Amino acid sequence: MPSDDQVHTTELDLDIVSDTFRAFVDQAAFDSLIERWNQKLNALEPDATVLERHFSNAFFKQMDLAADSLDRLDAQVFEDPLERVVAEIAGPAVVISPDLRVASVNAEGEQSFGASQGTFLSLDCLSPESRVDFDTVLRAAKGQGNLGQAIVQILDRFTGEPAFRAEAFLLKASNQESHYIVIRSLELDWSPEVSATLSQAFDLTDAEIAVARQFFENCDLAAVAALRGVSVHTVRTQMKTILSKTGATSQAELVRLFSMVASRQMLRNRGLLTEWQDPLGREKILVTDSGRKIAWTWMGALDGRPAIFLRGMAMGYLLPESAEKLLKHAGITLFIPSRPGYGNSSLHEDLPVLEDNQVMLEEFLVGMGLKGCVGIGLSDGIIPLLAQQDKDPATFNALISVGFNGCLNRAAFRKLPVPQATLLRLAKTAPRLLDLIARIGQRMIARYGVDWYLDRAHASTPLDLQICRDPSTATLVRDACSHLVVQGTRTFVRDMQMFHAPVDGAIDRLAIPMLSMVPTEDGLFDIDEYRQLEARNSHVSVLPVPESADLLIYQQTDFIMDRIIEIVTTHHQPT
C-alpha cells in the first residue's frame, strides 16, 4: 500500500468516504456511493486493475473504520436475542422481565400494548380468561412452575374489545440466568407470496389455497363453510385433501405449518432470514470425505432421467410450478446442489472461488454416482460446469446455459448498467471494498426489505421488475435472494469474482454440445457478439429467448423447459 506522501487524497475520495458512512442509514447515500465508485474507476482506466495504489493510507484507514463500525452495528442489530425476537415478527411483539418491565418492543408493540422500553407492561391488555394462562407462564419465568408457553387474547387498549391472539413463551438470553417473557402476535399476514409458496411446495389448487387461508384466519370449519357458501362436509373433504398434500397430521399442525410459512415469508421480505429451509421440503445434506457439506434438493420426477442444475446469482433453483409439472411429465429429475456458501452448503475460502465451486460439483457427482448426464447452469452457474467438464471430459454429455454470463460474452461487460458494472469491477480490483459495500447493502435490506435490493438490481429491465412485483413469481425471486445471502455477504462477493473466472480455454476445448439460451431484452443482447461465440467452437449454439431479460427462467418458463427436456431426453445415457 502506498504512503500518504505518494498519493494525494482527492475530493472524490473524500466523497466516497462520506457516502460510505452515510449509507449505513441513508438510501440515497448508498446510490451515490455506487455512482462515485463508478466515477473513480472510470477516472483510473485503464490502470484500475491495481486499484489500491491509487488511494492513500488515510483513505483505507477510513474504510477499515467503516468496516469496524458495521461489525459493532451488526452485533447490536442481529445478535441481541431480545431485539431479534421482536424484529422478526410483522405484528406487535414485546419482551418483558418477570417483574413486567419492558426489555424490548417493536413499533407495533408500543402501539398495541401502550408500553415502551423501560416502562412496565400493564396486564390489563390481557382478557380475563387469558390472565389465568399467562400467570402460569409468569410463574415459570420466576422459577415457580414449568408451563412456559400459552396462547392469550390481547385486548384493544382503547375499547377493551378483543384485538388479536398472541403467543406467550419464555426466552433465556445466553448471558443471563433468568427468563424473559415474549408476547408476540399470532395474527400473521397471509400475503400473496404465502399462497404462491403453498402452491409450489404442496401443489395446492387455487380453491384449496382459499380454503387454507380462510381456515387459518378463522380456525373453524363452519365459519369457512359459511364464507364459501358450501356445506361443512364439503369443507371437511377439502381439508382432508390439504392435510394429505401437506403431510400435516391434524388441523392444529396445519395451522402451525401455515404460521411458519407466513412468518418465514415475512422474514424474507425484511431480509432477516438467518437460516435456510428448502421451500420444497426435500433438502438433504451430503458430507464428503473432505468434510465439505453440500446441501441438495431436487425437482421433477421422483426417479427420472437425471440432470444437474446449478443456480445463478439472480435466478434461484426454485422453478415455477409449470416447470415442475413439465419435468414430471417428461420423467426428468433435476438434482440441485447448493453451490458453496449458498443456503446450507459450506463455503471454503481457502480455495479460489472457481476451484471451490468446481470441487463442490465434482464431489457431489461422485457422491451421488452421477456421470454422463446433462449439466444446466443459470447465469454464472454454467461456469463450474464448464470447469468440471474441462477437467474431466466424460462428466457430461451436454451442457445448457440459461441467461447472460460474461464468460460467454465478455464484450457485453461494457454495456452493463452502472451498478452491476461498478460492483463487477470492484470484485476484480478491490474485493474487500466490494465486501464493505455488500455489507452496507445487506443492512439496507434488513431495514427496508428485499424489494430495496430488487428495485436497484433490475432498475434497467422493466420485464424483470414485473417479475419482482408479480406475487406468483416474486416469491421465487425472494427465495433466490435469501438462498444467496443467508450465510452473509461473502458468497455474493465471491460470485461476483467468479464472473471474471478464466474459463475461455474451457469453452474453446469443449467437445460436447452446449446450448446457450440468452435473453433479448436485457439491454446487452447483440446477436453478432453471440455468433462469435458459435464461431469459436462449433459445439456451441446460441438460442435467443424472446421477450426475456435477466430473470428469463421466470419469464419464458415453458420455452426454456421445452429445450431442457429435449436435450436431456436426447443425451440421456443410463449409468
Length of the chain: 575
Closest CA to 347 of 439, 484, 480, 500: 484
Same domain, 406 and 509: yes
DSSP state of 524: -
Q: Which helix (H) or strand (E) holds 562?
A: helix 557-571
Alpha-carbon span 373 to 300, nearest angstrom = 15
The CATH number for 254's domain is 1.10.10.10
Query: Of 185, 209, 225, at which residue does a domain stop?
Result: 185
Same domain, 245 and 386: no
Query: Of 209, 236, 270, at which residue does a domain stop?
Result: 270
Give residue 394's pLDDT. Answer: 95
Q: Where are the beta strands (DSSP E) in 176-304?
A: 180-185, 284-287, 293-300
Same domain, 210 and 63: no
Both ends of the chain: CA-CA distance in Å?
54
Give residue 4's pLDDT. Answer: 47
Same domain, 166 and 307: no
Same domain, 210 and 308: no
366 inside domain: yes
Give residue 177's pLDDT. Answer: 65
Give residue 36's pLDDT. Answer: 94
C-alpha cell read off for 209: 389455497
Same domain, 162 and 243: no
153 inside domain: yes
Same domain, 406 and 552: yes
Query: Of 48, 78, 108, at which residue does a domain stop?
Result: 78
What would the pLDDT profile of 78-113 be if each residue is shown by its tens digit?
A: 446 777 788 767 678 999 988 898 888 887 888 899
**Domain of 552, in residue numbers:** 284-412+503-571
pLDDT in tens, the chain (575 residues): 455 446 677 899 999 999 999 998 888 999 999 999 999 988 886 655 567 677 888 898 899 999 888 877 764 444 467 777 887 676 789 999 888 988 888 878 888 999 887 788 999 999 999 999 899 999 999 888 777 778 789 999 999 998 888 888 888 865 456 788 999 887 777 777 788 778 877 888 989 999 988 888 777 889 999 999 999 999 999 999 999 888 888 776 787 678 767 766 665 555 555 567 787 878 999 999 989 999 999 999 989 999 999 999 888 888 888 899 999 999 999 999 999 999 999 999 899 999 999 999 999 999 999 999 999 999 999 999 999 999 999 999 999 999 988 788 888 878 889 999 999 999 988 898 999 999 999 888 877 777 788 889 898 999 999 988 876 677 788 778 888 888 888 999 999 999 888 898 999 999 999 999 999 998 888 899 889 989 999 999 999 999 999 999 999 999 999 999 999 999 876 55
Give residue 48's pLDDT. Answer: 54
Cis peptide before 46 (omega within 30 of 0): yes
189-193 CB contacts, 8 Å cutoff, 24+ apart? 189/90, 189/91, 189/262, 189/266, 190/216, 190/217, 190/258, 190/262, 191/262, 191/265, 191/266, 191/269, 191/471, 192/471, 192/472, 192/474, 192/475, 193/265, 193/268, 193/269, 193/471, 193/474, 193/475, 193/478
Same domain, 98 and 47: no
How many domains is the chain partitioned into structurally?
4
Contact 554, 476 (CB under 8 A): yes
Closest CA to 314 of 526, 479, 494: 479
436 inside domain: no
- Give the pairing of strands 396-402 and 540-545: unpaired
Same domain, 336 and 383: yes
Same domain, 61 and 110: no
The CATH number for 536's domain is 3.40.50.1820
Contact 375, 344 (CB under 8 A): no
444 inside domain: no
418 inside domain: no
490 inside domain: no
Sheet holding 284-287, edge to edge: 284-287, 293-300, 332-337, 305-310, 373-378, 396-402, 514-519, 540-545
371 inside domain: yes
481 inside domain: no
Hey, is 541 helix, strand or coil? strand
Same domain, 342 and 391: yes
Same domain, 23 and 43: yes
